[in-house]
């Protein structure tokens, strides 16, 4: 659990003069206007792959169905002749060649993340990713037209100051150091933030309204920066490709062997849902947890009050409860807010140690987590008293 916190703390020697309102070194203000981006990492994969995938899926359905119908129409003699040519040895050899090739490809594209030391499959190059992301960035900016705040808005100075502190205090991470970061703030009431692999960070106005410009926002920005540094977009695209190939292969077999089109269609739908629930969504949640963990570490090195990272998820869970927008974790791309809070609390002692090792100013003795949770309990009790039937 503490694997990130065991890394070097050399960053501690970096001057604290990056705090406060110096002109950002890496950040640029934005003058244009963007879009419809959803919560971090909820984006789906790029349209080019989507078109290719759709063609492959249709080919699998049509090919499987056509072969089944063609076989059904064959005379018994022809079928017998066909089966004579069929040998398990041939099938075995074909399966061995295909799976061997797929495995070699998987191993070739598997690399170790320098921060987490986790092995991950990345099938897209940085260049390919940047090209894909540029198209996506343009679409987002176009769709978000009218919502992005102008660069003269005072919110930029405050958000950039926080982001700048995180970036400058984590200069020992090459990917973070070499990235050009850019902040966009919108006036949308959504409580949201997201990052693109090209370093564009989007912060929705609703998030700032909810948490202000303090340590909670620093944690959210650290979380977003962690997604970019950990190359989660490239990993998600690669994993989605892998699952798509698997889905398309199974679809072809379903349409080949299931005698009724209706049953084949239902089986295909069911199979896709199973893949979503048991493979796609858990993977997304795993990456979110990793971004929380590494984000906490980045925030600790930048001397923020990391305990408020945990508070952020407490606040989010209160908000979701209030708005009745909670969805079961197993159906979500993100872990449940309270689970995220608990995960961070487990990591908190190590994060606090990291702060100390980085020569940060001491944290206040009053733990803000206790204060917030007391307030939350009081709030719940008062609601129960005022509305005893609510429970």
Active site residues: 224
Tell me which residues touch Zn ion (CB under 5 A).
40-41, 288, 291
Q: Which 3 state secondary structure label does DSSP give 170?
A: coil
What number of other Cβ atoms are within 10 A of residue 51's Cβ?
10
**Smaller CB separation from Zn ion, 38 or 87:** 38
Distance between CA atoms of residues 239 and 235, nearest Å: 6
- How many DSSP H helices and E strands does the chain contain? 14, 5
Q: Considering the complex, what minimum distance in angstroms separates the CB of residue 125 from Zn ion?
A: 23
276 CB-contact burial (10 Å; exposed 0-12 / middle 13-18 / buried 19+): middle
DSSP alpha helices (H): ranges in 144-179? 154-168, 174-178
**Smaller CB separation from Zn ion, 169 or 340:** 340
**Smaller CB separation from Zn ion, 335 or 368:** 335
Distance between CA atoms of residues 218 and 204, nearest Å: 14
Distance between CA atoms of residues 385 and 79, nearest Å: 76
What contacts 301, CB < 8 A, 6 or more positions away?
9, 11, 12, 169, 170, 354, 355, 358
For β-strands 182-185 and 110-112, DSSP reports them as: unpaired
CB nearest Zn ion: which residue? 40
**Residue 312, both tokens:** 């952020």
Q: Considering the complex, what minimum distance in angstroms separates the CB of residue 199 from Zn ion?
A: 15
Q: Considering the complex, what minimum distance in angstroms separates the CB of residue 155 from Zn ion?
A: 21
Distance between CA atoms of residues 59 and 225, nearest Å: 39
Q: Considering the complex, what minimum distance in angstroms separates the CB of residue 352 from Zn ion?
A: 23
Tell me which residue of 152, 178, 154 sits closest to 21, measured CA to CA: 154
Q: Considering the complex, what minimum distance in angstroms separates the CB of residue 292 from Zn ion?
A: 8
Q: Considering the complex, what minimum distance in angstroms separates the CB of residue 337 from Zn ion?
A: 12
Whether the CB-CB separation of 307 and 355 falls below 8 Å is answered with no
**Smaller CB separation from Zn ion, 40 or 218:** 40
Tell me which residue of 137, 134, 165 sits closest to 24, measured CA to CA: 165
**Smaller CB separation from Zn ion, 41 or 238:** 41
**Smaller CB separation from Zn ion, 41 or 354:** 41
């Amino acid at each position: 659990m503490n694997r990130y916190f065991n890394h070097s703390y050399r960053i501690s020697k970096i001057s604290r003069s990056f705090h406060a309102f110096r002109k950002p070194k890496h950040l640029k203000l934005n003058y244009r206007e963007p879009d419809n981006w959803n919560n971090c990492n909820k984006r789906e994969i790029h349209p080019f792959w989507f078109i290719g995938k759709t063609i492959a899926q249709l080919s699998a359905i049509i090919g499987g169905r056509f072969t089944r119908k063609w076989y059904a129409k064959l005379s018994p003699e022809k079928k017998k002749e066909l089966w004579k040519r069929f040998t398990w040895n041939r099938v075995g050899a074909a399966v061995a060649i295909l799976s061997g090739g797929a495995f070699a490809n998987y191993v070739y594209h598997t690399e170790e993340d320098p921060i987490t030391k986790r092995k991950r499959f990345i099938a897209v190059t940085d260049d390919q990713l940047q090209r894909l992301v540029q198209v996506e960035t343009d679409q987002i900016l176009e769709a978000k037209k009218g919502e992005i705040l102008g660069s003269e808005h005072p919110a930029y100075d405050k958000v950039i100051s926080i982001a700048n502190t995180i970036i400058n205090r984590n200069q020992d991470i090459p990917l973070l150091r070499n990235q050009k970061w850019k902040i966009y703030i919108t006036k949308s009431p959504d409580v949201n933030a997201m990052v693109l692999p090209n370093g564009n960070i989007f912060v929705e106005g609703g998030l700032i309204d909810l948490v202000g410009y303090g340590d909670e926002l620093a944690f959210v920005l650290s979380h977003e920066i962690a997604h970019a540094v950990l190359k989660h977009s490239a990993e998600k695209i690669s994993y989605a490709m892998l699952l798509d190939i698997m889905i398309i292969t199974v679809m072809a077999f379903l349409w080949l062997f299931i005698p009724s089109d209706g049953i084949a269609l239902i089986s295909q739908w069911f199979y896709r849902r199973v893949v979503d629930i048991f493979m796609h969504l858990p993977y997304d949640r795993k990456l979110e947890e990793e971004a929380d963990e590494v984000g906490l570490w980045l925030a600790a090195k930048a001397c923020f009050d990391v305990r408020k990272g945990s508070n952020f998820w407490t606040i989010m869970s209160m908000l979701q409860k209030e708005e009745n927008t909670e969805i079961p974790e197993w159906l979500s791309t993100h872990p449940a807010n309270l689970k995220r809070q608990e995960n961070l609390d487990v990591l908190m002692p190590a994060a606090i140690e990291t702060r100390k090792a980085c020569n940060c100013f001491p944290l206040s003795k009053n733990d803000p987590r206790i204060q917030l949770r007391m307030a939350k309990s009081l709030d719940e009790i008062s609601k129960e008293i005022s509305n005893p039937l609510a429970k």
